[in-house]
Structure 1
């Protein structure tokens, strides 16, 4: 039967020493809650852009209601044709689930690309900012940054 290299007394003291570090106290609860709040705000920023980029469907223009069997691309083509020949006098009729950036700023049909680009720029900024400020805070300290 092999003997332990550490005496039983030393082994007991060692496990008591490790148990001191594995405790769940008020400070640990504070750190967990603080970390959760930080993650919640970060996730909120990312999820918001998913909803902000929702593009509305155009169902008509002024008194003209497009055929329901048309796809969104064909409806946009008809709308842009009416706008081009109608001297921009047509008020679009939009169908949407909520007022997104595209609805508020009038970005629909061919202008939807602008909203998608804004989302891409924000994601790129998040990635670049995380890398840049993470490195700066590692070099100079988190309080200074």
Structure 2
């Protein structure tokens, strides 16, 4: 895990890999809870029997937005940004889904610091995020995550 105490330390990582999270298994219970929370009960996510018979996956798949919603949790396993008054999820850009995440797949977030700028006390950070699927060549997605930090 990378420990970052201030803007100057953060700057040292521009263009560098920050690390990777632990592997996280997305099980059917998590998919069902996400479906309930988002009111997205499309059968490909929640109907295990029907999905088992359907091409091309032969199983349920995680919602794409479920995999995106894991970013804050997985990011905390990569970087410990300290001495902040506030951290804000500011945005996501250029995200592309490369491959579906099947039920019980394990996923891992990889992060690289693309840019950092101090905007009069608010630090804007752009992280290149890649969500890998264990034993798969193509990632679930790639894109940029933007955080705003207010250091103490």
Q: After TM superposition, is the score higher than 0.5?
A: no
Query: Greater helix share, 1 or 2?
Result: 1
By relative contact order (CA 8 Å, sep 6+), the higher-ranking structure is 2
Query: Greater strand share, 1 or 2?
Result: 2
Instruction: Return the index of the structure with the highest Cα Rg.
Output: 1
Q: Please, what TM-score do these two structures have when normalized by structure 2?
A: 0.21
